[in-house]
Amino acid sequence: MNVNIDYEQIDLSKPAPIEEPQRQYYFIAKARKLVKELSEKAGRPLTYITQTFGCQMNARDSEKLTGILEQIGYIEETEEEKADFVIYNTCTVRENANQRVYGRLGQLQHVKKANPYMMIGLCGCMMQEPEVVEKLKKSYRFIDLVFGTHNIYKFAELIVTRLESERMVIDIWKDTDKIVEDLPSERKFSFKSGVNIMFGCNNFCSYCIVPYVRGRERSRDPKDIIREIEQLAADGVVEIMLLGQNVNSYGKGLKEPVTFAQLLEEIEKVDGIERIRFMTSHPKDLSDELIEVMAKSKKICKHLHLPVQSGSTRILEKMNRRYTKEHYLNLVDKIKKAIPDMSLTTDIIVGFPGETEEDFQETLDVVRKVRYDSAFTFIYSKRTGTPAAVMEEQIPEDVVKDRFDRLLKEVQSISSEVCSVHTGTVQKVLVESLNDHDSTLVTGRLSNNILVHFPGNEEMIGSIVDVKLHTCKGFYYLGEMV
Ligand code: 5AD
Ligand code: SF4
């Protein structure tokens, strides 16, 4: 979405407005002027690259960063070494995500020495950790800009501060209750888009760092959400993905409380939107009302991502998930009864502190009973500051690795069986791209999120077509348009 602002008309001789988003429009105008001057000095256009780590929420945030960079006059570059502005939108949900960022920063330092116009920005979840910022201040002085998850809307203002001050700019907020609407964003796909419906998380699962780095749960006003979706539809978007850490608790803190199911019913009415997806659902909050709305909806996709994390009630309690194995399995039964062709996916952690072989067997039991279409499996990663990090009985690496391998094998063999049940049927498919390996093929997505490759061309991208699914190749199909 792009807001229609004539930045040239903004009077920069006046002080910056206090109100948002007007304040940010002012700084976008100011940054445009500064970037133009720099570009004239360099004798060439200046370029940027946005690198995103982590989840869909970060992917959406990156579209907002990209929107601002485009508005202030940077041009997209696809190679990091050639870009004048490199921004990393970081993730910290597992330790290896942090390590990857440090590794890449080391390489960028050399590139920066050779390019006087180069700036490096870091933002996202990892920056909300005080130890990270301390380390950057001490050992990574060549970084220009550091900000967190709560103030990305201020990106243009921070760039101006940096350009006017010639020093490392750091701006991290602990939390916020503010949601700034109507800022520019640049969509990665023309035909589908993520839409934030809420920010933050109040659940404090004992292994998870998200509540500490994304702050308390706050929902966007339904009117703002509908307005954004209407604009997206007018712009040619046919599929939207509603984003929140726990969409099932949407609306709780609003002045006029609304349930997630009610929000979905409103979104269903928007003409032009053909498919509605959402993530993530917490099993403890998934209501009967939501199942009913999904069952009768024509637009909500037949796919539910329902993270189980563990199959052992004992471990679920230590994880502070607030449901039992039985509650989860009953919920799955209820969903399958109401919507038989629903595809279910999940997240599973192995090696949580204190997990015994018996606990692990309970997880395998859930996997066999639910028969997931696919599952993201993770090795438990200790996150400093979370309750689980100081729990006794951290599990030895070799034991965890062995369980992880066994789990993966089980998940994969079940999912290839589950996936193949649609062989021979005709399904609606949203064409997303040309096939990466064979340009006579296109790649599309079924309502249940499975991919299918079939003969086609670039012009079909963004349209929904009928495809006969000929063969299943484990996680995807080969098919033909009918
Ligand atoms: N270690 C391993 N996996 C984790 N996740 C969240 N925190 C951790 C952690 N400390 C997983 C959960 C969550 C997914 C997004 O990441 O399974 O659902
Ligand atoms: Fe983390 Fe649990 Fe919140 Fe998901 S619901 S973001 S796992 S604390």
CA distance 453 to 430: 11
Q: What is the pLDDT of residues 128-169, one digit of tens each?
A: 999 999 999 999 999 999 999 999 999 999 999 999 998 899
pLDDT of residue 385: 92
Structure token digits, residue 142: 């060549």
Q: Is-contact 426 446, C-beta < 8 A?
A: no
- Ligand 1 atom 14: residue of nearest CA: 347
pLDDT of residue 17 exceeding 90: yes
Q: What is the pLDDT of residues 448-462, one digit of tens each?
A: 999 999 999 999 999
In this prediction, residue 261 has a pLDDT band, given cuts at 50, 70 and 90, of very high
- Ligand 2 atom 1: residue of nearest CA: 208
pLDDT of residue 180: 84
Locate the ligand 1 atom nearest the alpha carbon of residue 381 and give its number: 1
pLDDT of residue 238 exceeding 90: yes
State mean pLDDT over 165-188: 87
pLDDT of residue 195 exceeding 80: yes
- Ligand 2 atom 5: residue of nearest CA: 203
Average pLDDT, the chain: 95
- Is any atom of ligand 1 closer than 6 Å to the C-beta of 307? yes
pLDDT of residue 474: 84
Judged by its nearest atom, the ligand closest to the C-alpha of residue 308 is 1
Q: What is the DSSP string of 157-193?
A: HHHHHHHHH-S-EEE--S-------S-----S-SSEE
- Is any atom of ligand 1 closer than 6 Å to the C-beta of 381? yes
pLDDT of residue 244: 96
Q: Is-contact 153 20, C-beta < 8 A?
A: yes
pLDDT of residue 378: 97
pLDDT of residue 1: 53
Percentage, residues of the chain above pLDDT 70 = 99
In this prediction, residue 402 has a pLDDT band, given cuts at 50, 70 and 90, of very high
CA distance 284 to 279: 14
- Is any atom of ligand 2 closer than 6 Å to the C-beta of 245? yes
- Cβ neighbours, 10 Å, residue 322: 14
Between helices 22-42 and 155-165, what is the axis angle to 10°? Answer: 50
Nearest to 189 by CA among 463, 462, 465, 464: 462
pLDDT of residue 206 exceeding 70: yes
Report angle CA 361, 372, 292 to the nearest 5 degrees. 120
State mean pLDDT over 438-443: 95
The length of the chain, given as a count of residues: 482
Is the pTM higher than 0.85? The answer reads yes
State mean pLDDT over 10-29: 94
Lowest mean pLDDT among 66-80, 135-149, 169-183, 396-410: 169-183
User: Which residues neighbour 389 within 8 Å (Cβ) at sequence distance 6 or greater?
Assistant: 382, 383
